[in-house]
Structure 1
Amino acid sequence: MGDLRLGLIGLGMMGRHHARVIRETDGVTLVAVADSYGDPHGVAGDLDVGASVDELIAKGIDGAVVAVPTVLHEEVALRLADAGVHALVEKPISGDVASGTRIVEAFENRGLVGAVGHIERFNPALLSLRERIAAGELGEVYQIATRRQGPFPSRIADVGVVKDLATHDIDLTSWLAQSRFVTVAAHTALRSGREFEDMVSFTARLENNVITNHLVNWLSPMKERVTVVTGELGAFVADTVSGDLTFYENGTVRTEWDSVMAFRGVSEGSVLRYALTKREPLRVEHEAFRDAILGRTGSHPGIVTMREGLENVRVAEAVLASARQSTTVTVSE
């Protein structure tokens, strides 16, 4: 069997990275690219730059990566589904639950592989963290907190920070805890004069009673991507910028300091930073997409399915509703 023939639509900031990684991934070949605005980063190489998804489909592709603005996801994805083409759609899957549902149903009804680009699941720190949580190294999980802050990305114009950025935290939190969001309470702000919110702080409770806290914005001069998972045996801290994972264990050494002994909690123990094999998350994501198309079962990690991506948008809409209503909102099924 020859390589899978892949197309790429959207040659902007993310599209240029997808083009590079597709070319570096075994078992796939980039055969077609398209972007109605041309090729600003010069990634097409010897390929003609098409103007539409139909031009990709005409090249006889097996799968496609969709890296166009969120507002165009439904149009492009449905066209690919109609043509029987598997797709990896950049996150969020769509701008709202209704359009996301139509995308999910189109791919599921045709038996096609549909993946969403929630790339944090493929970060080495979070992959290791999930395995360690599942193995019981933290004992019972109590809380998950994330911080995702940085400058405004000028490429984003059609959604706010909740759907573009916080969906990463929604996805990784539910995935780490292996439990869905039940309630959320949020506050948002618009500080930069744009149409959509650029700052959000929200708390939540998961179905398994883990509580969560998320601080996300486009207004910080430094880039921060941190996940802290606290449990009965200590706390894991994952930095997904560097791919580092550190474990802070609960203290096991008896203290003779009376004022400290009076506190009936935990004390500081040993700190361990793990040596991890660090592979580029986008490359791992593409390998998962390739393996899903080829039906290779048991590949680790698997894709983020479109239905999972839809659930992330559902939670994001509950976050925005909570901020509007200034109340705790239950996430609909």
Structure 2
Amino acid sequence: MSGLRAGLLGLGAMGRHHARVLRELDGVDLVAVADPGGDPHGVARELPVLRGVDELVRAGVDLAVVAIPISLHVETAEILARAGIHVLVEKPVSADSASARRLAEVVDASGVVGAVGHIERFNPAVQQLRLKLTEGALGEVHQIATRRQGPFPARIADVGVVADLASHDIDIVSWITGSSYEQVAALTAHRSGREHEDLVAVTARLRSSVVVNHLVNWLSPMKERLVTVTGEKGALVADTLTGDLTLYSNGSIPLEWDAVSAFRGVSEGDVTRFAFPKREPLRSELEAFRDAVLGKPSSVVTVREGAQIVSVVEAILESAARDETVRL
């Protein structure tokens, strides 16, 4: 029996990876690709490069991945959903939460699976981090700090660093804690001469009272992707570049050096780097999308979840513009 007929709209920097994984995915056949700008990376192979979403619909696909500029996400996904095609849209789902919520309504009314490509949920380090927190490895969580910085990616033209990069960390924090953002205070800067911000520092609080900090920029000559969760029993550090997760436990041996112990709330204990399988996040994400289409249990990021992330992005940009704390 043939697999699900898959289409791909967008053959750029991210689309080429989707094409590779879709071709390797069990139960899925990549049968149509489209991009009005052509095929710069040569990923179409034997397939003709269609001009846009209408031709993709006429190709008779069952599901489609949308990896095009953010300003076109909602319009394109709505066309696919109304045609009865299951759709996964790259993140962020939209540049504004109102249109993202509208897309969620269209997806629900059409009876199709709508998913958003928040790929960091499928990073093995983040999945293990969430598992350890669920198991109580840290006890009560006090603070979460993320650092996501590196050089400017030339592929980004229509949004700033908050929507493109900070949205990853917003989703990670919401997902691993199971709590939404209550308030945010942010500062942004424009240092590279572009229209959109290329630096942001965020201080936030979740509804669970956890304090959160995000440091994100496109200005660093090195690439860094870290999530540090501090709790009553120690700290967990996830490195999503390497897929590593490390536990720094609070010490159980009393300190005998008075000059040092006077300055510490806790002492240093054992350090454990966990071993676990490290699957490619994009493969795990597309497998989850496939399973959702087949009606199997799945962990896809829904369009409604994607809309909530966009709401936090909007609040961060509003806070920076108004120079005040914004409540969600």
Aligned to 1:104: 104
CA distance in structure 2 between the aligned counterparts of 1:264 and 1:202, rounded to whole angstroms = 26
Q: Which range moves more in the overlay, 226-235 or 99-108?
A: 99-108
Aligned to 1:138: 138
CA distance in structure 2 between the aligned counterparts of 1:172 and 1:69, rounded to whole angstroms = 23
Secondary structure of the corresponding residue to residue 205 of structure 2:
strand
Task: Describe the superposition over 1:39-68 as per-residue Cα deviations: whole angstroms up to 9, x where unpaired.
Answer: 000000100100110111111111000000
- Same amino acid, percent of matched pairs: 64
CA distance in structure 2 between the aligned counterparts of 1:290 and 1:188, rounded to whole angstroms = 38
Aligned to 1:29: 29
Task: Describe the superposition over 1:267-322 as per-residue Cα deviations: whole angstroms up to 9, x where unpaired.
Answer: 1001011112110000000000000000112x4xx001110100000000000000
Pick one of 285, 303, 307 that aligns with 1:306: 303
**Amino acid of the structure 2 residue aligned with 1:286:** L
Residue 187 of structure 2 is aligned to residue 190 of structure 1: no
Aligned to 1:330: 327
Aligned to 1:210: 210
Kindly report which structure 2 residues correspond to 1:7-86, keeping only aligned pairs within 5 A, or say none: 7-86=7-86
**C-alpha displacement at 1:2, in angstroms?**
3.1
Pick one of 300, 314, 318 that aligns with 2:315: 318
CA distance in structure 1 between the aligned counterparts of 2:2 and 2:12, rounded to whole angstroms = 29
Number of aligned residues:
328
**C-alpha displacement at 1:264, in angstroms?**
5.9
**Amino acid of the structure 1 residue aligned with 2:256:** E
CA distance in structure 2 between the aligned counterparts of 1:87 and 1:142, rounded to whole angstroms = 37
List gaps (5 residues or longer) in structure 2.
Answer: none
Task: Describe the superposition over 1:123-167 as per-residue Cα deviations: whole angstroms up to 9, x where unpaired.
Answer: 000100100100111100111110000111111111111111110
CA distance in structure 1 between the aligned counterparts of 2:16 and 2:70, rounded to whole angstroms = 17
Q: Residues 228 and 67 of structure 1: is their aligned pair in 2 closer, same or farther, counting only changes over 3 Å?
A: same
**C-alpha displacement at 1:261, in angstroms?**
3.1
**C-alpha displacement at 1:263, in angstroms?**
4.0
Aligned to 2:247: 247
Kindly report which structure 2 residues correspond to 1:128-277, keeping only aligned pairs within 5 A, or say none: 128-263=128-263, 265-277=265-277
**Amino acid of the structure 2 residue aligned with 1:325:** R
**C-alpha displacement at 1:109, in angstroms?**
1.5
CA distance in structure 1 between the aligned counterparts of 2:209 and 2:218, rounded to whole angstroms = 29
Secondary structure of the corresponding residue to residue 13 of structure 1:
coil
**C-alpha displacement at 1:74, in angstroms?**
1.4
**C-alpha displacement at 1:82, in angstroms?**
1.2
**Amino acid of the structure 2 residue aligned with 1:230:** T
Task: Describe the superposition over 1:187-242 as per-residue Cα deviations: whole angstroms up to 9, x where unpaired.
Answer: 00000111100110001000100010000011111110000000000000000000
Secondary structure of the corresponding residue to residue 289 of structure 2:
helix
**Amino acid of the structure 1 residue aligned with 2:304:** R
**C-alpha displacement at 1:254, in angstroms?**
1.2
CA distance in structure 2 between the aligned counterparts of 1:150 and 1:103, rounded to whole angstroms = 32
CA distance in structure 2 between the aligned counterparts of 1:217 and 1:135, rounded to whole angstroms = 33
**Amino acid of the structure 1 residue aligned with 2:308:** E
**C-alpha displacement at 1:260, in angstroms?**
2.7
List gaps (5 residues or longer) in structure 1.
Answer: none
Secondary structure of the corresponding residue to residue 94 of structure 1:
coil
**Amino acid of the structure 1 residue aligned with 2:50:** G
Q: CA RMSD in A?
A: 0.9
